[in-house]
Chain A
């Protein structure tokens, strides 16, 4: 399967714990996006990378959130000191685009976080 893969698919944690999600994009894609989706809402933009450079971060991404994409390949999203409000589906997407437009995103199946 050469699509976008995310791991783990589901994470249950206690409030205050740290969690890390991993995303492996489609190999030739240079852009990688993180979105968060809660019940009844559409995906909300968190951050994106072009190769290894993090180009934009949403104000939704508090100091407890950090994302990396070392070497421009896979990416990790870490949430420190989790809170119950962090419970959501975390979606990763990648795209191959040159120029200005974002283009079509290819999404993974998501990592669902439940904070107890």
Chain B
């Protein structure tokens, strides 16, 4: 039972353009949503989060949007840079437990 779904295994974006990564969830009890970034041979690192009571959170080039009625969130990266090439995991928490999606591999093209 995949409660957090990332339906795009990979995404390629031109350097300088906007990258949009999508995530859907099924559990309406989730109260906090997070995005993690992972480089090869490293553990995931926290990127940005949003509480379920908000619909947008921005941190520099990264913005997360939450649409609770659609049970959908997205991560926007603008402008995309070569160092953004990584696997991005969407995650959601209910209480103390954090559940991750399968990830989307982002390739930033020169």
Chain B nearest Cβ from A48, distance in angstroms: 6
A16 within 8 A of B: no
B residues lining the A interface (CB < 8 Å): 4, 6, 9, 31-32, 34, 36, 41-46, 49, 89, 91, 93, 95-103
**Which residues of chain A in 60-116 are interfacial with respect to chain B, using CB atoms and an 8 Å cutoff?**
91, 93, 97, 100-110
Contact with B along A28-64 (1 / 0, CB 8 A): 0001010100001111110010100001100000000
CB-defined A-B contacts under 8 Å, sample of 17: A4-B43, A31-B96, A40-B9, A40-B102, A42-B4, A42-B91, A42-B102, A42-B103, A43-B89, A93-B43, A101-B31, A102-B32, A103-B93, A105-B98, A107-B43, A107-B45, A109-B43
Q: How far is the CA of A48 from the CA of B99 in the complex (A)?
A: 13
CA distance A45 to B92 in the complex (A): 12
Interface centre among B46, B49, B91, B98, by most A CB within 10 Å? B98
A45 & B43 in contact (Cβ 8 Å cutoff): no
Decide: B97 and A102 in contact? CB cutoff 8 A: yes
Q: How many residue pairs, one in A and one in B, have C-beta atoms under 8 Å apart?
A: 65
Most chain A C-beta atoms within 10 Å of own C-beta, residue among B42, B43, B45: B43
Pairs of residues from A and B, 7 with the lowest C-beta to C-beta distance, nearest first? A107-B43, A42-B100, A102-B93, A104-B46, A43-B100, A42-B102, A102-B96
Interface size on A, residues (CB 8 A): 28
Question: Shortest beta-carbon distance, B95 to chain A, in Å?
Answer: 6
Q: Known contacts A40-B102, A42-B102: does B96 contact A110 (CB below 8 Å)?
A: no
Residues from chain A with a CB closer than 8 A to the CB of B102 are 40-42
Give the complex CA separation of A109 and B44 in angstroms. 8
Q: For the complex, what is the distance from the CA of A15 to the CA of B24, rounded to whole Å?
A: 38
